[in-house]
Amino acid sequence: MKKQHDQDEVQQLKAQTFFHGGAAGLEVGAILDRKHWQDPTESVGAQILGMHPETPAVFITPDADFAEFFAAAPGHGDLYRVVPIGEITVDEDFDEGLSNACASAEVVEVLARGVERTEKNQMAGHQVMRWTDGAKVYGPEGYMLPSPQMRAVGIDEEYLRGYGWLVPVPVVTEDLMMKVMRGELSHPQI
C-alpha cells in the first residue's frame, strides 16, 4: 500500500490539483480524516481489499472522473477539490499517479452534491481494474475481458460480452463456477 515519494515527487504532488469523492455534506474548510473513513473491520469491501486500521484515512486523485466514481459508490456522496495535509503515499492498488493516500485533506471546493452513478464515472472507476497478470478487467466499451484462468479454459471476450456492461466480477466468477460444477466447463480454477 505505501510507497514513499522522494522530495521532488512530494513537491510535484503538492502542486497538483486533487479530488476526493465520498462523504456527503462537507463544506469548504472541512478536514477529511479518519472520522470520514469506514472502519475496515465493518466494511466487506475494505476487508476484501485488505485494508487495515492503519490505512491512511483519505484517498485523493488528480482525476475528477475517478473521484466521482467513488462519490457515487456509497449512494450519492459528494465530489470535492481537496488539498492534502501531511505525507502523501502512492495507492498501489491503482496505476501510479491515479490514486494517492494521506492522513487528511482540506476541502477547498465543493464540486458536486449527491453524485449519482453515470456511464462516465462508472467507466472511470472500472477501467483501472486489473487481473492478477496486469491485464485490464474491463475493455474500453465496459465489457469484461477474460482473466488468465478464463483464457486458459477458452473463455474469450465475446463469451463474456453476454454477461452485459460492467457486470461485477463476482457475478461472472460465480456463474462460471456453477458451469464448472454442472460439467459445462472443464477447468475448476475460474
Q: What is the arithmetic mean of pLDDT over 25-45?
A: 71
Nearest Cα residue to 20 out of 123, 114, 116, 105: 105
Look at residue 154 in the predicted model and tell me its pLDDT: 87
- Cα gap 79→23, rounded to integer Å: 9
Percentage of residues of the chain with pLDDT beyond 70: 78
When pLDDT is cut at 50, 70 and 90, the band that residue 73 belongs to is: confident
- Check if the beta carbon of residue 69 is closer than 8 Å to that of residue 124: yes
Helix (H) or strand (E) holding 60: strand 58-60
When pLDDT is cut at 50, 70 and 90, the band that residue 9 belongs to is: low
Look at residue 22 in the predicted model and tell me its pLDDT: 87
Return the residue matching grid coordinates 466480477.
169
Q: What is the arithmetic mean of pLDDT over 117-122?
A: 91
Look at residue 1 in the predicted model and tell me its pLDDT: 42
At residue 172, what is the residue type?
V
Bigger pLDDT: 110 vs 183:
110
Long-range contacts of 85-88 (CB under 8 A, 24+ apart): 85/31, 88/5, 88/10, 88/13, 88/14, 88/60
Maximal C-alpha separation, the chain: 59
Look at residue 50 in the predicted model and tell me its pLDDT: 57
Bigger pLDDT: 64 vs 128:
64
- Sequence spans of domains, the chain: 7-112, 129-181
Q: What is the arithmetic mean of pLDDT over 30-46?
A: 63
Checking DSSP bridges between strand 100-112 and strand 78-90, what pairing results, if any? antiparallel
Q: Which CATH class is domain 7-112?
A: alpha beta
Asked whether residue 87 carries a pLDDT value surpassing 50, the answer given is yes
Q: What is the arithmetic mean of pLDDT over 85-104?
A: 85
> Which sign does the torsion angle of CA 4, 10, 14, 18 carry?
negative
Asked whether residue 51 carries a pLDDT value surpassing 70, the answer given is no
Nearest Cα residue to 106 out of 84, 77, 86: 84
For the record, the C-alpha cell of 115 comes out as 453524485
Helix (H) or strand (E) holding 172: helix 169-181
Look at residue 112 in the predicted model and tell me its pLDDT: 96
- The pLDDT mean for the chain works out to 83
Bigger pLDDT: 155 vs 9:
155
